[in-house]
Amino acid sequence: MSMKYSDIKERLKFEVVKETENNLAYLTHYFQNPKNGVSKYYKSNAEKQLYKIYDKLDFVEEPNFQAYLPIKWDIPFPPPKKAKFEFVDLFAGIGGIRLAFQNLGGQCVFTSEWDKFSKQTYDANFGEVPFGDITKINEENIPDHDILAAGFPCQPFSIAGVSKKNSLGRAHGFLDATQGTLFFDVARIIEYKRPKAFLLENVKNLVSHDKGNTFRVIKETLENIGYNIHCKILDGKHFVPQHRERIIIIGFDTRVFNREENFEFPKMPEKKFAIKDILENNVDPKYTLSDKLWNYLQEYAKKHKAKGNGFGFGLTDLSGISRTLSARYYKDGAEILIPQEGKNPRRLTPRECARLQGFPDNFIIPVSDNQAYKQFGNSVVSPLFQAIGKEIINCIKKQ
């Protein structure tokens, strides 16, 4: 006997309400890994949760879901029936990197993400609720894996983030105790679990932050725990109509590869993209800027232009590519505005933001527009990471 994942969610009344709540994480990770040796990491806590709700269930004779596995995954991106490799997804967001590695045949065996709204989107698409605060996760409780992927928080290093924190008199980079030091949680997991390879992602400004000292510390930390490092700034514009530069850090375990992995970053496609190709045909008028907001943005741009600054709105050339989509897009949409004949420009819709990051149209957006803008602004260009992931996997196959 098996059941649809949607039926299980309904009967168990799944609801992601707290960033720190891991009960659903244990259950869903248990469901996703029934027979691959990974379930032992989740079984005990998952069954504790099943015992708690046992009396409320009318479809379970005993509090053990193994009899109902494999589950019928009625979600857009189910786990592979036969995995080619295993990976973990840290600082997972809404799963842009997971989507890339799953498309390559990978089984995700552990996921972590703090934001509860991102967890809702992640679960809607992948059938798994991520674990919460990475600083409170013991590395011993993470399953073995071939590849570790992590897009650790970029705000402490981004140009906008540094500028904002400077203006508020707050620390940035590694001095930001809440976000800047999360890299070291990634490092402790890598050192303990020793995946064959890892992929880390951050903003381009990480390389130049604090006169290069931040990046030097990151690189030396990873080398000191025994990994050969490959770094490159890549632009998502080769896969989607968006200028989005990110630093990619790839590491290979020297104990496994002896520095002979011969890894090369993928050659960037020459195909030209245009933002008009990702626009929806019939767009709700609510996405058109009000007269008040449009006038404000124009006056704001004039003021900064007079001061010699480059701040201002971005009225996009429909035959070209856009600026970088950011997590602040929900505020006014200023960096990417779509011109409209005879009326004020408009924001992108959440679906257009998804397309701008390379997500397919069957990717579910279960949250409000504002949350969706934040989520896609914080995400990655998924096809770019699929191309990078393919090269990592090729090295592992050759090893």
Percent helix, strand and coil across the chain, each to the nearest 5: 45, 15, 40
Catalytic residues: 154
Residues 18 and 136: their CA atoms lie apart, in Å, by 15
- Could you say which DSSP state residue 322 is in? B
| Cβ-based neighbour number of residue 289 at 10 Å | 22
Residues 226 and 191: their CA atoms lie apart, in Å, by 8
Q: Which two tokens stand for residue 340?
A: 């409209």
Residues 211 and 394: their CA atoms lie apart, in Å, by 35
Using left for φ > 0, alpha for ψ between -120 and 50, and beta otherwise, residue 212 falls in left
> Nearest-CA neighbor of 382 among 358, 352, 363?
358
3-state secondary structure (DSSP) of residue 47: helix
Q: Which residue in this structure is represented by tokens 């993400």?
A: 113
Provide DSSP, 330-355: HHH-TTSBEEETTEEEEPPPHHHHHH
3-state secondary structure (DSSP) of residue 114: coil
Q: Which two tokens stand for residue 286?
A: 């609510």
3-state secondary structure (DSSP) of residue 106: strand
Tell me the CA distances in angstroms from 240 to 21, 234, 237, 275, 356, one per residue in order: 35, 13, 5, 8, 6
Torsion angles phi and psi, residue 108, rounded to 5: -80, 120
